[in-house]
Chain A
């Protein structure tokens, strides 16, 4: 027996999909099944193996160990089994096989604001939500001011939560959860909501928690958050652990996988309900006049309803999920660009501006102050090759996110 905080051995969870496909069973169904069951059994014996097809393993043969004080990220695609794993550890659902051993008080944060009631005031919700998360009344009382402070809602503490803006609601909900003080904290994708500032604040709080020596298991799609918080990561694919180890190694691998499975050309499905829509995006390798490599982003879009303030935006992120740069077509002064019809535009990304590595391109239509008009979820992928890189000419890769063309000048020489 090692000195572990969490130890998972051969964990598996099986779901029956056929049986509950109709969502809810009715009594009549059960009665029917009861009467037909003996006959089904006969059919079964005759070799019809229909029953096994209707079950799936959400996770299977998962084993790992986490030391006390470790902060571990769990990553994987949607449906890989991350949430199922967390739900088992949080005791929400029971495993089908395997054993989990947990040492210390477990707190789980699978959703921000679980049990919040819109009719109750902020104050009342703090107590209710705290109790649901497993805090005692005294504990909540002691941390009450701190929670209100963190949420920045002093003025509205006695207002029913239904009158809160969604930002206030999220802040309060996270504030309560953030003040839970378990020895083992399980967190699922709670940072996916809220604005950038709020996310930053939450990440800061999470970092604090991690620094206090607590054991944290953190599921997220945000590779930046995972990289900055966790020391180790576990990559889950199709219900199995496909890799685990140092966080940068695993996040790299994950982003590579999700990148390489995407072509450098994307064709979106036509949706006539959208006022504007991106139809095709393609990344093309090219060279500028001085023979420097370029990546040309070629975008074909359709305008079905003219919108004056609409912008076509591009975001380029690096492997750590940091936005390296952003651009939009505001600077394209051409009246035709928003007229009804199909348009093709290009944007050249000078590769020499980037340090070697892999990059992801996201694009979309957006009007300032409005929700996105059309933002395909898929990302395109390109990498800057190290060998064609003049930075590494001397065998040294320069650190940094971008390469800034820098001109050094010799000014003077002072003799002493």
Chain B
């Protein structure tokens, strides 16, 4: 993308926009992104309002998907394989992890494919391209909210009251979003040039799920590897959710700190890579 610089405004003249070839790494240009914040809202809103159009079950899908996953996990892992769930009822314990996981998986898949899916926009209108993966990532939040309400209902059913640490929950949601967006920025930019990425994303999400303590507790991971385990930011998110809602496990410590650090690195490296590749999107997509 062209690097626009708004120069000093000569008296009585409009600010000048200069378009010239850019080289190497370019600035993140967050100011431009801020100007287009309404577009982020509209694209997110489009994705949300279109998603369940012409479906019979509509928004119920937001609950059905994690619900049936939970049922299968509860039967096979909880009931048959007797995977420990730290003394909590397996279904609610598992669902508590599935809700943020669903948010992450959806956001990652959507943002990773977002540039290719919106190629008609990229080749016809200018706006900061970063808007597209950001909007795609945020689109998962409504499904998350619906599933979250269901989770609260389940907790009531099992007579579990959330801990007072529930206020930290938005931070863990943010961590999940940041991780999804960071990976999504990398994948979406790569996807423009390499269509292999589309298939990689499906595989990656599956793979990532097994690396995350959803069906099993992180306590089965030996303590000395625990910090290493935090290299997967989603481990930090899931642990945080169980801690804040169910009072399960330990308060966030070194492992979560590692998760946060990784998520931040992933996000900013993704943003920088995205900005660098951005200039040729319209020619290659």
Contacts and interface: CB of A to CB of B under 8 A. Distances in A.
B159 interface: no
Contacts of B53: 119
Nearest to B13: A103
Contacts of B279: 94
A100 B42 contact: no
A403 interface: no
A91 interface: yes
A133 B14 CA distance: 20
Contacts of B22: 94
Contacts of B125: 90, 92, 108, 110, 114-115, 132-134
Interface string B20-53: 1110000000000000101101110110011001
Contact of B283 (A1, A93, A102): A93
A15 B283 CA distance: 8
Interface of A: 1, 3, 15, 20, 24-27, 30, 87-104, 106, 108, 110-111, 114-115, 117, 119-120, 124, 127-128, 131-134, 136-137, 183
B202 interface: no
Given A120-B50, A127-B42, A136-B38, A93 B282 contact: yes
A92 B194 contact: no
B194 A27 contact: yes
Contact of B123 (A92, A101, A133): A92
B46 A26 contact: no
Contacts of A1: 10
Contact of B19 (A25, A99, A136): A99
Nearest to A23: B195
Given A101-B18, A103-B14, 19 more contacts: A25-B193, A88-B19, A89-B19, A91-B19, A92-B282, A94-B280, A99-B19, A101-B17, A102-B16, A103-B13, A103-B16, A111-B124, A115-B120, A119-B54, A128-B46, A132-B39, A132-B121, A132-B125, A134-B125
Nearest to B195: A24
B277 to A, nearest CB: 12
A115 to B, nearest CB: 5
Nearest to A100: B19
A94 B4 contact: no
A56 to B, nearest CB: 13
B50 A119 contact: yes
Contacts of A183: 14
B282 to A, nearest CB: 4
Contacts of A103: 13-17
Contacts of A104: 14
Contacts of B123: 92
25 contacts: A15-B283, A26-B195, A87-B282, A90-B125, A90-B126, A91-B19, A93-B282, A94-B21, A100-B18, A101-B16, A101-B17, A102-B16, A103-B16, A106-B17, A106-B126, A110-B125, A114-B120, A115-B121, A117-B50, A119-B53, A120-B49, A124-B49, A128-B43, A128-B45, A134-B125
A134 B131 CA distance: 13
B194 A114 contact: no
A337 B21 CA distance: 61
Given A15-B283, A26-B194, A91 B2 contact: yes
B224 interface: no
A187 B177 CA distance: 38
Contacts of B17: 101-103, 106
Contacts of A127: 42
Interface string B246-285: 0000000000000000000000000000000001101110
Q: Which 5 pairs show the lowest CB-CB distances between chains A and B?
A: A103-B14, A91-B126, A100-B19, A131-B42, A104-B14
Nearest to A125: B46
Given A25-B193, A27-B196, A119-B54, A95 B21 contact: yes
A30 B190 CA distance: 12
